[in-house]
Amino acid sequence: MTLSHSQSAQTLPFEPLMQRNAAITEARWVRATLTAIAILFLAGFLLLPLLSVFVTALSKGIGAYFASFGSAETQAAIKLTLLAAGIAVPANLVFGLSAAWAITKFEFRGKQFLMTLIDLPFSVSPVVAGLIYILVFGAQGWAGPWFSAHDIKVVFAVPGIVLATIFVTFPFIARELIPLMQELGTDDEQAALSLGASGWQTFWHVTLPNIKWGLLYGVLLCNARAMGEFGAVSVVSGHIRGLTNTMPLHIEILYNDYQFVPAFAVASLLALLALITLAAKSLLEWRFADQLAATRRH
């Protein structure tokens, strides 16, 4: 029996979908193999190392675990990590919003160059980034003598750590927002402006609600990277115990001193902060799933 032209036209669009479904469901062993590989990879390279951190940290009991946080050096490292992240994340939030707004809403000369600069920390080693600040603000650097003459310390001090943290983390928010804002376009903003809304009202009531999920993801990623940064901070910190050591640097020092329980205790705290960040992201996704789906459909 042959199909008419109209019947064929109605049938053909469904054939690729049927073929894809058949390709997905016809070989169970393929799905089982790929699933097993994924689970084994996650267990071997992510879950087991993470679990070993907590097991080693608690190997001498809960008392020894909490005692590891009693030293002044450990407390100073925790405070400095939170301080650096607390400055770097808001600074990158302002920069990320500004850069994404400029790139997606305006046409100007040097736009592509600005996008290239945003991606620069992704291609430059964090160690090289730290050396850049040494060359600029160090005692023998370009601006070092001027800062020394005015008794301002940048490298081997908190300002250098904050600057290095900002440098390695500033692409995260901008790069999360730029594709989202490009996809959304400018129709909503133009409609709001045509109805008499000011620029601030347009941003607060139109743009921000549309990008809030991308902004949240960028902030979470930026915060996680800021707290865990090692390479650039290691170069500019000088490893001064109790003064310029962040948590990652303090962990290295404790481990090199064969203080394994304190080292893994601090590492577990750093891992716990990362897990809390991930849990907060998952909770917000679950709590506002409908709004997130609506944003993606938009």
- Give the distance from CA 182 to its chain's centroid: 20
Helix, strand, or coil (residue 153): coil
* 119 C-beta neighbours (distance < 10 Å), count: 12
Query: What pTM, to 2 d.p., does this model score?
Result: 0.80
Looking at domain 64-297, its CATH superfamily turns out to be MetI-like (1.10.3720.10)
Distance CA 47, CA 26 (A): 32
Q: Which of 82-96, 187-201, 234-248 has the lowest mean pLDDT?
A: 187-201
Higher pLDDT, residue 189 or 24: 189
With a cut of 70, say whether residue 1 has pLDDT above it: no
% of the chain exceeding 70 in pLDDT: 87
Higher pLDDT, residue 51 or 22: 51
Higher pLDDT, residue 52 or 16: 52
With a cut of 60, say whether residue 12 has pLDDT above it: no
Q: What does the pLDDT look like over 203-244, one tens digit per residue?
A: 888 888 888 888 888 898 899 899 999 999 999 998 898 899
Which pLDDT score, from 0 to 100, does residue 291 have?
55
Which pLDDT score, from 0 to 100, does residue 10 have?
47
Distance CA 185, CA 199 (A): 16
Which pLDDT score, from 0 to 100, does residue 81 have?
95
Which pLDDT score, from 0 to 100, does residue 5 have?
47
**Residue length of the chain:** 298
State residue 108 phi and psi, 5-degree precision.
Answer: -155, 160
Which pLDDT score, from 0 to 100, does residue 3 have?
46
Q: 257: buried, middle or exposed (CB in 10 Å: 19+, 13-18, 0-12)?
A: exposed
